[in-house]
Amino acid sequence: MAKRDYYEVLGLQKGASEQDIKRAFKRLAMKYHPDHNKEANAAEKFREINEAYQVLSDPQKRQLYDAHGFAGIDGSQAGGGNPFGGGGDFSDIFGDIFGDIFGGARARQQGPVEHPGRDLRAVVSITLEEAVRGVTRKLNVKTYVKCPQCHGQGSKDGSRLSICPQCNGSGQQIIRQGFMTMSQHCSACHGTGRSNPNPCPKCKGDGRVQSQKIVEVKIPAGVDNGDRLRLSGEGEAGLQGAPSGNLIVLIEVQDHDVFTRDGLDLHCVVPISFTTAVLGGTAEVPTIDGATLKLTIKPETQTGTILRIAGKGVKSYNSSQVGNLYCKVVVQTPTNLTEEQKDLLRKFEATFEKKNKEVNTSSTKAKNKDSDKAKEENKKEEKEGIFSKFFKDLKGDDK
């Protein structure tokens, strides 16, 4: 039989693109694959298609073939006569081209399988204090646990499981669908490859039973909202002694009345009186561990000023880092003032007006400098008097 032109074999024109070649090969190889085409010449056809593809998909070989025909290809092979050269392995091309069709089925795990338990999830809500210092919580978990009677084995009286007669222990079952063959888990043994002629009466052969169990969760100091803890093996028990799943605990930190958290830092608001803001003083600041600190307020502190107390934040659970406590100072406006206090405030305000007037008129009064100076001395005294009385009154009102 005379050799057919490679392009003709694949049903292509000479200038066909790489993509066309691949597509044509895929289509024809599917059609003539000896596994599912039982026609007498299928194998020969498949070989022909494969050979054509081997050459046309290789740019170097294709170039030689285009220039010299079969002579170019044969001549290029050291052994001669074998156009497959060293690369004629069917499975190689298959891995390449059919990875998505056959590869998937082939790559699937063969042989018996285990049925491990699933992971369980739980949410634990804790306070910010608990998050900062750590806490232990007991969770009541309803799940599958190892059967206490057969210890997870699934068989009665510790008798051994035998080989599944339906799949001969392979755990796999071959399904034919048209020309495709697929394997799936054996329906008799669910892929385990074992049969259980004497099932444990308590778990009916599963090796696990539904139950409640108490799981102690140690929540480390420093955890944050949204952190996940993984308790290995505390999830659902596996079937017939297969490994257990894990318990995943999601940490939810409740909002705090005083503190908000940002990473390792804590933030709080510290109210101070109007007088403390002006004259300076101290303010009491609570810490997350229950202590009280004295915060120094400098004179003339503006509302909104943020003061840092180093090392009074949250200690990291995976490093030696410790956050800071940031205190936002907020000046409280005095309320429920008496008429006398209000009057003092008005006088106080008037002192600013006077001061402004003096600045504006001082240039015109340059001549009477000496007498002015004396007057100002008097005013200063007067002003101080108002100040101290006013602040004394306000302080008295302070809680």
Distance from C-alpha of 281 to C-alpha of 292, rounded to nearest angstrom: 16
Q: Contact between 150 and Zn ion (CB under 5 A)?
A: yes
267: β partners: 260, 326
Distance in angstroms (rounded) separating the CA atoms of residues 8 and 51: 12
- Separation CA 101–CA 260 (nearest Å): 55
Q: What would the 3-class secondary structure string for 184-230 be? A: EECCCCCCCCEECCCECCCCCCCCEEEEEEEEEEEECCCCCCCCEEE
Q: Counting contacts by CB under 5 A, is residue 164 touching Zn ion?
A: yes
Backbone angles phi, psi at 100, to 5 degrees: -80, -20
Q: Which stretch binds Zn ion (CB under 5 A): 157-165, 176-184, 240-248, 319-327?
A: 157-165
Nearest CA among 217, 237, 266, 45 for reference residue 142: 237
The span from the CA of 189 to the CA of 200, in Å, is: 16
CB of 182 to Zn ion, least distance (A): 16
* Binding of residue 237 to Zn ion (CB under 5 A): no
Residues 6+ apart with CB under 8 A from 285: 268, 270, 292, 293, 294, 295, 309, 325, 327
- Considering the complex, state which of residue 97 and residue 203 has its C-beta at the smaller distance from Zn ion: 203
Residue 167 lies near Zn ion (rule: CB under 5 A): yes
The reply to whether 203 sits near Zn ion by the rule CB under 5 A is yes
Size of residue set near Zn ion by CB under 5 A: 12
Regarding 55 and contact with Zn ion (CB under 5 A), the answer is no
User: Which residue in the block uniquely carries the two structure tokens 């002003």?
Assistant: 383
Candidate segments 107-115, 198-206, 282-290, 353-361, binder of Zn ion by CB under 5 A: 198-206
Q: Which of residues 84-143 bind Zn ion (CB under 5 A)?
A: none
Stretch that binds Zn ion, among 20-28, 35-43, 193-201, 218-226 (CB under 5 A): 193-201
Q: Which of 73, 147, 237, 268 binds Zn ion (CB under 5 A)?
A: 147
Helix (DSSP H) and strand (DSSP E) numbers for the chain: 11, 15
The pair of structure tokens assigned to 171 is 């755990």
Asked if 149 touches Zn ion (CB under 5 A), the answer is yes
Establish if 221 lies at the interface with Zn ion (CB under 5 A): no
- Which of these ranges, 44-52, 102-110, 194-202, 280-288, lies near Zn ion under the rule CB under 5 A? 194-202
Beta-ladder partners of 126: 253
Stretch that binds Zn ion, among 9-17, 73-81, 103-111, 187-195 (CB under 5 A): 187-195
| Nearest residue (CB) to Zn ion, 50 versus 170 | 170
CB of 165 to Zn ion, least distance (A): 8
Residue 166 in contact with Zn ion, rule: CB under 5 A? yes
CB under 5 A: which stretch of 96-104, 202-210, 282-290, 367-375 binds Zn ion? 202-210
Among 73, 128, 186, 251, binds Zn ion (CB under 5 A): 186
Which residue in 124, 188, 293, 386 binds Zn ion (CB under 5 A)? Answer: 188
Q: Shortest gap between Cβ of 161 and Zn ion (angstroms)?
A: 11
Taking the complex as a whole, the smallest distance from the CB of residue 241 to Zn ion amounts, in Å, to: 10
Select 183 or 305, whichever has its Cβ closest to Zn ion: 183
Distance CA 86, CA 54 (A): 11
Burial of 25 (0-12, 13-18, 19+ CB in 10 A): buried
CA dist 331 and 303 (Å) reads 5
Whole-number Å distance between alpha carbons of 232 and 251 = 16
Query: Under the rule (CB under 5 A), what is the footprint of Zn ion?
Result: 147, 149-150, 164, 166-167, 186, 188-189, 200, 202-203
